[in-house]
Structure 1
Amino acid sequence: MYRALYAFRSAEPNALAFAAGETFLVLERSSAHWWLAARARSGETGYVPPAYLRRLQGLEQDVLQAIDRAIEAVHNTAMRDGGKYSLEQRGVLQKLIHHRKETLSRRGPSASSVAVMTPSTSDHHLDAAVARQPNGVCRAGFERQHSLPSSEHLGADGGLYQIPPQPRRAAPATPPPPVKRRDREALMASASGGHNTRPSGGNSVSSGSSVSSTSLDTLYTGSSPSEPGSSCSPTPPPVPRRGTHTTVSQAQPPPSKASAPEPPAEEELAAGTTSASDDLEALDTLSLGTTEEKAAAEAAVPRTIGAELMELVRRNTGLSHELCRVAIGVIVGHIQASVPASSPVMEQVLLSLVEGKDLSMALPSGQVCHDQQRLEVIFADLARRKDDAQQRSWALYEDEGVIRCYLEELLHILTDADPEVCKKMCKRNEFESVLALVAYYQMEHRASLRLLLLKCFGAMCSLDAAIISTLVSSVLPVELARDMQTDTQDHQKLCYSALILAMVFSMGEAVPYAHYEHLGTPFAQFLLSIVEDGLPLDTTEQLPDLCVNLLLALNLHLPAPDQNVIMAALSKHANVKIFSEKLLLLLNRGDDPVRIFRHEPQPPHSVLKFLQDVFGSPATAAIFYHTDMMALIDITVRHIADLSPGDKIVDPESAGAVK
């Protein structure tokens, strides 16, 4: 442990600023003027000038606590960066683990007789050390965050990866080492022979700074020779300029061989090799422990936990399926970040939450989704009421309130529940429930219940394209077209009928031939008259836009222009000024009002197909005025000019309209 003699502040990004009296734990003597140290109070790591420090005779327990705080600080920094460790952080963790092992090996009766520290060769792998974490660092989180793949610590030559030493710079000379250490270094130099070359006329190489050999031996982690000095200077070393002092990062390449420091002596090389093997063994043990803990967490967490949480939250809060997923994900993610020990378990919970697509299939065996149960009850009761011919023809009791509650709950489930559950219930028994609702709509004459049924049909169309195909082939389009032409006084029901019809025809599928009796030219002329003349009750002017969308949707399933009932009605209508204006407005915006859903396969662009059919016949091409034609040409030219080189037309069938 070291205490700061003076306050220090530097502009270097990796230098620690500290006040006088702060204590530090030295991790590495990178150069004569900069040491890698950890602040004992907070565990923050950085570089400090050794001339500002004085060694303290501290207890091993204080050193262990400082190491633990430094390890925890590195992990917290990595968690804030997304859980990824940089090369610098990995190197610091390696030094901290090695230093903790050294400190634990010194605890005992022989601690006072240790003169020069050598790497520990004990057989334990930090199991007891991790169990005694004083700062709340639990075993699971500690081992998970310490586990580093052994391949990441191997350099290009297969050896243990070591952080390269810091670049050297001219510095005040350090005092000569003590006589004993100078003699020992001379013996080491003579033993190495020609392996180490000393510059002639220079002083002996110092091991890092001007501190005593006792302090060097106490926390010695590796020798880094410095440049020879000329004289002793009592003043603190100057702070290096920005760019001179660089720290190791992912983008920094290791120093070249030409500027590499002199290799250490053979004894130090042997000690470093032993230390490297011990560190690698400890890291491998931690990695193995992390893998075992992760496997244990996977076995302990049931794969149905995500579906069970979704079911509990939805049943007790009434939130939609997506909001339940978001709420559970936020809570579990916060617990995972706040309690590192629970990270493996929380990770399995999140995976189960993401993988559970179908809630009814993801639940444990024997459990049934609550929404699925309610859909079964609602569909069964509505089918029973449909089959009650006596009640439908001559009501014996008032059942509107009960049916309204059923339909409102059905609409709520179809809108907010798991779409997979709703699709499965609608498709069961070849869409028996959907066809039963269509038959019930045909039999029901109360406007309020019909309006709720229309909303339910719209929610079903958004679930799957197969449901739309079923509705197209049913009697629903015919019933809606007949209802729109016979009852024009109910504005709200008229708007919903036009909207549902546009949804049903939005996929461009073929319509049964019998439907043209109600969906032929007279119905198209009725829609054009609403667009041009409007209705007295339509104060919001919402109905003309819905009728335009319905005409575009009806035109999608008519491939031949000569047999197109929409074009026939357009040629017979005297004035379609408002309709042509709305058509040009949609073309200018580039919108397709019929493409409501994202079901596959996507139909062609309804506006471009309508224009293509209009200009396919001289009778229909004459509906546009001269100014409308000029505006149409200007819109087309501008759209073509806005295309970048290499852009392709998204819809191949719309190429004819653009041409």
Structure 2
Amino acid sequence: MYRALYAFRSAEPNALAFAAGETFLVLERSSAHWWLAARARSGETGYVPPAYLRRLQGLEQDVLQAIDRAIEAVHNAAMREGGKYSLEQRGVLQKLIHHRKETLSRRGPSASSPAAMTPSTSDHCLAAAARQPNGVCRTGFERQHSLPSSEYLGAAGGLYQIPPQPRRAAPATPPPPVKRRDREALAALGSGSRHATPSAGSSVSSGSSVSSTSLDTLCTGSSLSEGPSGSPTPPPVPRRGPHTTVSQAQPPSQGPVPDPPAEEVAGDTPSAPEELEALSALSLGTTEEKAGAETAVPKTIGAELMELVRRNTGLSHELCRVAIGVVVGHIQASVPASSPVMEQVLLSLVEGKDLSTALPSGQICHDQQRLEVIFEDLAQRKDDAQQRSWALYEDEGVIRCYLDELLHILTDADPEVCKKMCKRSQFESVLALVAYYQMEHRASLRLLLLKCFGAMCSLDAAIISTLVSSVLPVELARDMQTDTQDHQKLCYSALILAMVFSMGEAVPCAHYEHLGTPFAQFLLSVVEDGLPSDAAEQLPDLCTNLLLALNLHLPAPEQNVVMAALGQHANVKVFSEKLLLLLNRGDDPVRIFNHEPAPPHSVLKFLQDVFASPATAAIFYHTDMMALIDIAVRHIADLSPGDKLRMEYLSLMHAVVRSTPYLQHRHRLPDLQATLRRILSEEDASPQCQVDRMIVREMCKEFPALGEAPS
């Protein structure tokens, strides 16, 4: 306990104003110039200058009462804020509880007061505050998985279980607090304990150093002043330097704290041997502890760090890995003694691929838990007959929160965790979402579902196979043709349908009732004529990509519904120009994902199907035809032996010569002849080169002019 010798008032934030004679309980000696203290009368906490205080030899019962009042003041302040404990309040509570336990331990087991026998309820409140999001202490808290996450429902109903955070330093007034081990040693010295020896768990290694600021705090009370001060004038208000830090080396004589009165020195001066004993116990550690700390790195530390950073920052899985790697690498470079431990942490970070299996036994990835909840609740809403009624729209906000969180997790979480959850029970969750999309007619929810389907397609080819066989392609095709006014939903429908068809897998025969020639003609009309709602002209490109993707799964040109629609359409000038532009760039707009097995090049396959029949080959104008031949001949000449694309271009050129009057205009014939002869003379025995030579022989056999020497 300390008593104020003078009145004090300051404009510094977090500084306590007090009158002369008030008593304080010191919680932390933050620096030589500022101490964290609690007012004994009201429990109010703040920073006070130690030069204004004088230590009292009070009863421990008074100290306990002051601590209890301070704890109650913190609880009352938190309740006024809705029951939420800030990080500063958590830190103050921890210091108060620690101080209370130390005071009780000094009283010994023989103390019979209720304060000594009854544990402080703040321990339980603080633990509950650490377990609840934002430190909320409340009973009857709803179960974690009953509503969407707090990130999407607002701060009031948070459900993410955030572990207690370390206490931040005060914003402006005091410098950052010293390490906890230093604080414990200082508290032991300040309390007058003669035999305060840190335990093995709280001692630090010999490489650690005690900051000079902490030594200033020790020496403030032990250094004798030059003479007693009889002046009633208070000393000058201490000010914090612009660059004050915890480890700043500064002798006590240079600090702004004036010499305290002589009577204070006499009451607060421990002997020099006691200080040396405590400091040696604080700064010396055993070699066994260091060796044990270096080897005791769990294999799951990388996955645990990923989970903590992802859960508390909201960063994506990859950004979490980058952030942890940068921090650990910097610590390894800056603190050479920690290099072996940091190296093991980095190895664990690299090796931990799947969070769902890399976490310690008994721990479940938070994203996995949330996916289970979202899939389960959405399936229940799908099966709820009452929610299918057109009049019940009160669930839209909740469903929107679920879908927003689902999209966020599918996009940013560990892909392996998302794959595992989507594939569970033979893709039951994915098929449930498809069924929910079919029965949901609200445009905003349908749009969110489409985004979720797109995120699922990016995870794995098996999910795309499931969606191809589901009712989703039929529903999307029907929706595109019936609702052309909602431009955003129409664009997303075309994009998702192109993703579903991007792997070139066979479509169930029943789907052709909605995906046949009429649907292909609708897409061609959108490309050529556009829609009134498409002011940005996004739909022509999207429908072009969809036609290319739809054509991928049609192997026989004579039964190709896209080619049938192309032959029936009077004018496809815009569409043919877009095809030539894609061919010239070498782009495949349908190859959105890197899933295996890779499908054929959609543009080359489409052109090969176009030139498989003279009826569809006539869609190109003469100048466009010459440009197409230029592009094909250039690629055949430039591509290296063994490249799969060279075989595709050779097949395309063979189809062009067969279905068009090429031998009449003979555009770029000498270049083509020279390239074909070079391919025949290649000695590469790879299977791909053998296929190329076989195609060239077929071309020269069918059209002998191609095999002649260029003139």
- Residue 551 of structure 1 pairs with residue 544 of structure 2: no
Deviation at 1:650, TM superposition (A): 4.0
Structure 2 residue ranges without an equivalent (≥5): 1-204, 210-287, 655-711
Q: Could you tell me how far apart the structure 2 residues matched to 1:467 and 1:294 are?
A: 50
Q: Could you tell me how far apart the structure 1 residues matched to 2:623 and 2:329 are?
A: 60
Identity across the alignment (%): 88
Query: Deviations along 1:228-251, whole A, 9 cap, x unmatched?
Result: xxxxxxxxxxxxxxxxxxxxxxxx
Partner of 1:477: 473
Tell me if structure 1 keeps the 8 A contact 2:524–2:572. yes
Tell me if structure 2 keeps the 8 A contact 1:356–1:362. yes
- Residue 564 of structure 1 pairs with residue 565 of structure 2: no
Note the 1:316-395 alignment, pairs <5 A.
Answer: 316-395=312-391
Partner of 2:510: 514
Q: 1:132 to 1:504 in 2, by over 3 A?
A: closer
- Residue 583 of structure 1 pairs with residue 579 of structure 2: yes
Q: Could you tell me how far apart the structure 2 residues matched to 1:474 and 1:295 are?
A: 58
Q: Could you tell me how far apart the structure 1 residues matched to 2:633 and 2:488 are?
A: 40
Select 1:429's aligned residue among 408, 417, 425.
Answer: 425
- The TM-score, its normalising length taken from structure 2, stands at 0.51
Select 1:404's aligned residue among 382, 396, 400.
Answer: 400
Q: Could you tell me how far apart the structure 1 residues matched to 2:289 and 2:592 are?
A: 48
Note the 1:121-520 alignment, pairs <5 A.
Answer: 299-396=295-392, 398-520=394-516
Q: Could you tell me how far apart the structure 2 residues matched to 1:423 and 1:134 are?
A: 46
Deviation at 1:635, TM superposition (A): 1.4
Tell me if structure 1 keeps the 8 A contact 2:316–2:412. yes
- SS of the residue 2:644 aligns to: coil
- Residue 538 of structure 1 pairs with residue 537 of structure 2: no
Query: Deviations along 1:40-83, whole A, 9 cap, x unmatched?
Result: xxxxxxxxxxxxxxxxxxxxxxxxxxxxxxxxxxxxxxxxxxxx
Query: Deviations along 1:401-448, whole A, 9 cap, x unmatched?
Result: 110000000000000000000000000000010000000000000000
Q: 1:496 to 1:629 in 2, by over 3 A?
A: same
Deviation at 1:657, TM superposition (A): 1.6
- SS of the residue 1:510 aligns to: coil
Larger Rg over CA atoms: 1
Q: Residue type of the partner of 2:346?
A: L
Q: Could you tell me how far apart the structure 2 residues matched to 1:480 and 1:313 are?
A: 38
Tell me if structure 1 keeps the 8 A contact 2:636–2:650. no
Q: Residue type of the partner of 1:335?
A: I
Q: 1:333 to 1:525 in 2, by over 3 A?
A: same
Q: Could you tell me how far apart the structure 1 residues matched to 2:409 and 2:520 are?
A: 35
Q: 1:486 to 1:396 in 2, by over 3 A?
A: closer
Deviation at 1:649, TM superposition (A): 3.2
Q: Could you tell me how far apart the structure 2 residues matched to 1:551 and 1:544 are?
A: 11
Deviation at 1:467, TM superposition (A): 0.2
Q: Could you tell me how far apart the structure 1 residues matched to 2:601 and 2:609 are?
A: 12
Q: 1:487 to 1:318 in 2, by over 3 A?
A: same
Deviation at 1:651, TM superposition (A): 7.0
Q: Could you tell me how far apart the structure 2 residues matched to 1:634 and 1:293 are?
A: 75
Partner of 1:594: 590
Tell me if structure 2 keeps the 8 A contact 1:313–1:324. yes
Q: Residue type of the partner of 1:522?
A: P
Deviation at 1:642, TM superposition (A): 3.0
Tell me if structure 1 keeps the 8 A contact 2:629–2:653. no
Note the 1:8-47 alignment, pairs <5 A.
Answer: none
Q: 1:568 to 1:297 in 2, by over 3 A?
A: farther
Tell me if structure 1 keeps the 8 A contact 2:636–2:649. no
Q: Could you tell me how far apart the structure 1 residues matched to 2:644 and 2:421 are?
A: 39
CA RMSD of aligned residues (A): 2.3
Deviation at 1:293, TM superposition (A): 12
Q: Could you tell me how far apart the structure 1 residues matched to 2:563 and 2:606 are?
A: 9
Deviation at 1:595, TM superposition (A): 0.1
Partner of 2:622: 626
What is the count of residue pairs matched by the alignment? 373
Deviation at 1:300, TM superposition (A): 1.2
Deviation at 1:593, TM superposition (A): 0.1
- SS of the residue 2:484 aligns to: coil
- The TM-score, its normalising length taken from structure 1, stands at 0.55
Deviation at 1:640, TM superposition (A): 2.9
Partner of 1:648: 643
Deviation at 1:652, TM superposition (A): 4.7
Q: Could you tell me how far apart the structure 1 residues matched to 2:206 and 2:313 are?
A: 43
